[in-house]
Structure 1
Amino acid sequence: MWIRDVRPWGGPSSDVRLDGELIAEVCPRPPGSPTTDSDGSSSDTEVQGRGRLLLPAFADVHVHLDSTRLGLPFRPHTGGPGVWTMMLNDRQHWRDAEIPLPERVAHTLELMIARGTTRVRSFAQVDVDCGLERLEAVLAARETHRERAEVQVIAFPQAGLLREEGSAQVLEDALRAGADVVGGIDPCTLDRDPVRHLDLVFGLAERYAVPVDIHLHETGELGRFSADLILERTAALGMQGQVLISHGYGLWDGTESQTRGLIERFAELDVATATVAPGGRQTLPLTGLAEAGVRVGLGEDGQRDYWSPYGNADMLDRTWQLAFTHGFRADDLVEHALAVATRGGASIMDHDLARLSGVTDRPGLAPGDRADLVLVAGETPTSAVMDRSPERTVLHRGRVVAEGLTLA
């Protein structure tokens, strides 16, 4: 297949040849080359770029597909303060949605793919209330769209592991049922026994040979204490490259030396982090993390659900939010936000992919790279983030899977 007249990462107009799932070559177009076919149509052998930007496809590495309400009538926000209160509010309402959970999960994943996301790392809540019902809905959506996206599923104990009897057993049952990653959450503030909580999580990770992803909302010294315990277990169990701390926005409000030391430990142990670009909170030291080679990914979190009215299945929108909340204005920094949202997240899901080497690294579009791609209108990558045009073509493993926000 040829992708005609595109601008990789905003560079000169090029034709890109695919060989199966891979990019085979990128050929600059001679000046004055004729434009593409007037109808702009694509075929099995050619995709018409029409001068659009060519970017790696998005990777959403922190999303809760099992709590989505996208496509349903808008409802007022009813959640209260704190993780436990919000969890109880979700527990009270999620079964009463207008359509069954499997349908709304599959629909949201469809929306994400159509907008350019072909790698997804989704949490699925497992607890004594829902059992494996929410996990099964996410696994079913993964199967429905298996040819269009790569989905990893995280068994997530949103209610903790120690507050309700049987929680740890449900988490293990989820791994047996097909979850790819074991999750944890706020070992100090939610379960109030960080050693036991983390011993359970890392014990399951070791027993089932799966990675770990821990929600960490804890702030200040308490958050850094939990992070220290996570890093210690990562080193002791030889799980370098297999651990991710989600959120973690409260880890970076210490002294400059504390922040520098923590970044160095993340890099040394190849511990990744994922952000949802929250507003009104301490931001990540994105440039420092990039220069140290720490894997950083971006996600949409919940999407118009019982936790929050935000989220719309569009990672280009969330890229704008990442740049905005970090105060990025220079082109290289806005483009770095795009790199985090695309190849940064992809390197978390596939550790054979190199970490971003700095804020100017623009990988993913070279010969030999897998053809997970999105074509989007824009004068430059920065303008594409600002304008967020719906004019997109999405490829997964070298095959067109969406065009014009509709699945192919």
Structure 2
Amino acid sequence: MNDVLVRNVRPLHAGAVDLLVRDGRIAEVALGVQADDAQVIDGAGRLIFPGFVDAHAHMDKTLLGLGWYVNDVPQNLRSMIDNEREMRLARGIDSHTQSSKQARLALAAGTTHIRTFVDIDTGWGLSGFEGVAQTREDFRGALDIQIVAFPQSGMLVRPGTVELMEDALRNGADVVGGLDPSTIDRDPARHLDVVFGMAERYDKDVDIHLHEPGDLGAFSVELIAERTKVLGWQGRVVISHAFSLGGVDDAHLGKLIDLLLENDIAIMSHGPSGGRPAPPVARLAAAGVRLCTGNDGIRDAWGPLNMPDMLLRTFLVAYRNNFRRDADLELALHISTYGSAQVVGAAEYGLAPGAAADFVLLPGENHLEAIIERPKERLVVKGGRVVAEGGVALV
């Protein structure tokens, strides 16, 4: 691979620098770097960000390109789960085609890493997983895709799902997913025994959707922490959504934060809409809890509001948490880059020498303004190769 010299770009809290990329990695960051015979990219004073990391996606569900989905579904979790399942069975959604559409848009917007949940369901077996796994292969070298085997419709309540999840884990799924142990499977101890049992057998990380509110959700957090400690899975567990952290009193929250820290459990919060309680991001960050974020579902049967743009997601996390000060906006940006990268295990991430050459160039006065303005003109580099430019993925 030829050397690449990126001239005149501006990292966060730094003046203009040049980046020398060699063998897909950042070799040097300085002003006035010299490299004979290198391919030159003129940064023209643009801002440089490390590639954005979407730590919570549902690429198999998206209805992008399939027309407007009329949503008249009662807004409770069980109704939305059942409606989506019936719709997917009736329409025969092709998860390879649909996840590829989302991958192209995400890449064009500067996302270089995605953790996506994929529904494992007796209604369609492993076809959803296989389709997204093909997309993962199609985009290899341009977009890193990590797959969570996810029992969206329930695991214990739908016999055969556990066996399908194990098949997915044997065939390339990266992470074990779980879902609302009390309200969906209605057997929290057994649900978590099965989830953590699979994690141990296949040496996989765990990422559990937890929509359960208030004290019930807090109880599930306690059970997840207990399983994490017993198995020795510290640093390998994420609780996604964790709405209950925003729905308990201050003293109870403090005890839950202690459990998260003791067991090194990360929290994913996407800045949820609708006025529901949400994790207090600033307090969690101040305590040292690891945080990540993601776009959740994109134009699917659950709702039409999200788009695969992590700068927009950064804005929404900031908006939901009433972030106004520069330091708070920087926290939101950190979560959608370095924080999410750490949680999903993105290796050698960042803009320092030795890091993988995954980065995004875009115009703007500064990085915080970019969160607000979200310019469409973005040049995306993965492993030292331009993979998207002008809003178009080159894959």
Query: Given the two structures, how large is their TM-score scaled by the length of structure 2?
Result: 0.93
Secondary structure of the corresponding residue to residue 16 of structure 1: strand
| Match status 1:61 vs 2:55 | yes
Following superposition, the deviation at residue 44 of structure 1 comes to 6.9
Q: Is the 8 A contact 2:217 2:243 kept in 1?
A: no
Q: Give the whole-Å Cα distance in 2 for the aligned partners of 1:113 and 1:95.
A: 29
Q: Give the whole-Å Cα distance in 2 for the aligned partners of 1:306 and 1:152.
A: 22
- The equivalent residue for 1:173 is 167
Following superposition, the deviation at residue 46 of structure 1 comes to 1.7
Change (3 A) 1:78 1:44: farther
| Match status 1:335 vs 2:330 | yes
Q: Give the whole-Å Cα distance in 1 for the aligned partners of 2:93 and 2:204.
A: 33
Alignment partner of 2:216 out of 215, 222, 233: 222
Q: Give the whole-Å Cα distance in 2 for the aligned partners of 1:130 and 1:283.
A: 33
Aligned partner letter, 1:237:
L
Aligned length: 387
Q: Is the 8 A contact 2:94 2:128 kept in 1?
A: no
Alignment partner of 2:14 out of 11, 16, 35: 11
- The equivalent residue for 1:344 is 339
- The equivalent residue for 1:392 is 378
Aligned partner letter, 1:281:
R
- The equivalent residue for 2:288 is 293
Following superposition, the deviation at residue 95 of structure 1 comes to 4.6
| Match status 1:161 vs 2:152 | no
Change (3 A) 1:96 1:265: same
Instruction: Give 5+ residue unaligned stretches, structure 2.
Output: none
Aligned partner letter, 2:376:
P
Following superposition, the deviation at residue 210 of structure 1 comes to 0.6
* Range with greater deviation from structure 2 (280-289 or 182-191): 280-289
Q: Give the whole-Å Cα distance in 1 for the aligned partners of 2:291 and 2:253.
A: 16
Aligned partner letter, 1:166:
G
Q: Give the whole-Å Cα distance in 1 for the aligned partners of 2:278 and 2:362.
A: 28
| Match status 1:119 vs 2:122 | no
Following superposition, the deviation at residue 312 of structure 1 comes to 1.6
Aligned partner letter, 1:181:
V
Secondary structure of the corresponding residue to residue 93 of structure 1: helix
Following superposition, the deviation at residue 10 of structure 1 comes to 5.2
Q: Is the 8 A contact 1:217 1:250 kept in 2?
A: yes
Change (3 A) 1:217 1:399: same
- The equivalent residue for 1:35 is none
Aligned partner letter, 1:235:
K
Equivalence map 1:3-152=2 (5 Å): 3-9=6-12, 11-28=14-31, 45-95=39-89, 97=91, 100-152=94-146
Following superposition, the deviation at residue 97 of structure 1 comes to 5.0
Q: Give the whole-Å Cα distance in 2 for the aligned partners of 1:256 and 1:223.
A: 15
Equivalence map 1:196-211=2 (5 Å): 196-211=190-205
Q: Give the whole-Å Cα distance in 1 for the aligned partners of 2:24 and 2:89.
A: 40
Following superposition, the deviation at residue 84 of structure 1 comes to 2.0
Following superposition, the deviation at residue 99 of structure 1 comes to 7.1
> Percent of pairs identical after alignment?
43
- The equivalent residue for 2:321 is 326
Q: Give the whole-Å Cα distance in 1 for the aligned partners of 2:356 and 2:302.
A: 35
Q: Is the 8 A contact 1:121 1:152 kept in 2?
A: yes
Secondary structure of the corresponding residue to residue 229 of structure 2: helix
- The equivalent residue for 1:365 is 351
Change (3 A) 1:351 1:51: closer
Q: Give the whole-Å Cα distance in 2 for the aligned partners of 1:117 and 1:79.
A: 31
Following superposition, the deviation at residue 265 of structure 1 comes to 2.3
Q: Give the whole-Å Cα distance in 2 for the aligned partners of 1:285 and 1:65.
A: 27
Secondary structure of the corresponding residue to residue 65 of structure 1: coil
Q: Give the whole-Å Cα distance in 2 for the aligned partners of 1:393 and 1:299.
A: 21
Q: Is the 8 A contact 2:5 2:38 kept in 1?
A: no
Q: Give the whole-Å Cα distance in 2 for the aligned partners of 1:10 and 1:404.
A: 26
* Range with greater deviation from structure 2 (127-136 or 149-158): 127-136
Change (3 A) 1:378 1:95: farther
- The equivalent residue for 1:266 is 260
Q: Give the whole-Å Cα distance in 2 for the aligned partners of 1:48 and 1:97.
A: 47
Q: Give the whole-Å Cα distance in 1 for the aligned partners of 2:61 and 2:38.
A: 36
Secondary structure of the corresponding residue to residue 48 of structure 1: strand
Alignment partner of 1:310 out of 286, 305, 310: 305
Q: Give the whole-Å Cα distance in 1 for the aligned partners of 2:86 and 2:166.
A: 24
Residue deviations 1:222-248 (CA, integer Å, cap 9, x gap): 111101110001010010111110000
Following superposition, the deviation at residue 4 of structure 1 comes to 1.0
Q: Give the whole-Å Cα distance in 1 for the aligned partners of 2:20 and 2:284.
A: 34
Q: Is the 8 A contact 1:78 1:306 kept in 2?
A: no
Q: Give the whole-Å Cα distance in 1 for the aligned partners of 2:358 and 2:139.
A: 15
Following superposition, the deviation at residue 26 of structure 1 comes to 1.7
Q: Is the 8 A contact 1:187 1:197 kept in 2?
A: yes
Change (3 A) 1:191 1:98: closer
